[in-house]
């Protein structure tokens, strides 16, 4: 199955654009780390997540491809909500409730603007509760190709790049389709030290 994908949104942002996004994120209350590679981001996340608190990994190609999801859910070194819950593939509402109130949520977003906004698209919105306020701390790992100038471009990226990519992935795995049901925009963090954004200078994820 072929879908139309705007490949312009798969190109990594340059250093100046990343710097502007990082500065704006900090001004909006986020802690920001800029890493050269996904491997470095993986080591950082392992150091940031406490071993004695519950951690929920939001479904994310960035986490899967970087190895972060496996580190947190499969190594046995962390208090993984997914590992403790086992297989909940049969009930989507159980999955949503499962990740609503962890101590730590680790995931990604579909766009970061140079104005310091985080933008996420989802079919069900299952990751929105811990992202917005349910988790005490949130860590988002974001590839450089997701940095865009503004909210309008961020929404365009979700519809013309991230959604088609996810649709293709789901179809290849199961023959099913995906859709955009909800969009979350995080403009500013209200609580000191709650939100951490790990910007990666290379391309990873959708």
Helix spans in 76-148 (H): 81-85, 92-98, 128-129
Question: What are the tens digits of pLDDT across the range 86-124?
Answer: 755 556 667 667 778 899 999 999 999 999 999 999 998
Residue 1 lies in a domain: no
pLDDT of residue 88: 54
User: What integer pLDDT is reported at residue 3 of this predicted model?
Assistant: 75
Helix (H) or strand (E) holding 119: strand 118-122
Residue 123: inside a domain, yes or no?
yes
SS3 143: strand
Task: State the CATH number of the domain containing residue 55.
Answer: 3.40.50.10420
pLDDT of residue 52: 97
Inside any domain, residue 186 = yes
Average pLDDT, the chain: 93
Residue 184 phi/psi, 5-degree rounding, is -115, 130
Mean pLDDT of the region 8-18: 97
User: What is the span of the domain harbouring residue 106?
Assistant: 7-200
Whether residue 71 is contained in a domain is answered as yes
Structural domain total, the chain: 1
* Structure tokens belonging to residue 205: 């994820």
The string of DSSP codes covering 29-89 is T-EEEEESSHHHHHHHHHHHS-TTSEEEEPP-HHHHHHTHHHHHHHSSSSEEHHHHH---T
């Amino acid at each position: 199955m072929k879908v139309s994908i705007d490949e312009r949104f798969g190109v990594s942002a340059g250093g100046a654009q990343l710097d502007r996004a990082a500065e704006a994120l900090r001004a909006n209350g986020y802690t920001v780390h800029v890493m050269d590679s996904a491997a470095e981001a993986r080591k950082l996340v392992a150091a940031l997540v406490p071993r004695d608190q519950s951690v929920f990994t939001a479904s994310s190609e960035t986490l899967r491809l970087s190895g972060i999801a496996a580190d947190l859910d499969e190594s046995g070194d962390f208090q993984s909500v997914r590992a403790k819950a086992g297989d909940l593939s049969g009930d989507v509402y159980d999955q949503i409730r499962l990740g609503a109130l962890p101590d730590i949520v680790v995931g990604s977003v579909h766009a970061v603007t140079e104005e310091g906004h985080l933008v996420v698209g989802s079919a069900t919105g299952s990751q929105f509760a811990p992202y917005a306020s349910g988790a005490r701390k949130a860590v988002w790992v974001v590839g450089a190709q997701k940095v865009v100038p503004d909210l309008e471009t961020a929404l365009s990226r979700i519809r013309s790049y991230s959604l088609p990519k996810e649709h293709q992935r789901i179809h290849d795995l199961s023959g099913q389709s995906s859709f955009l049901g909800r969009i979350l925009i995080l403009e500013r963090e209200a609580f000191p030290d709650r939100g951490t954004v790990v910007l990666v200078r290379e391309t990873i994820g959708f």
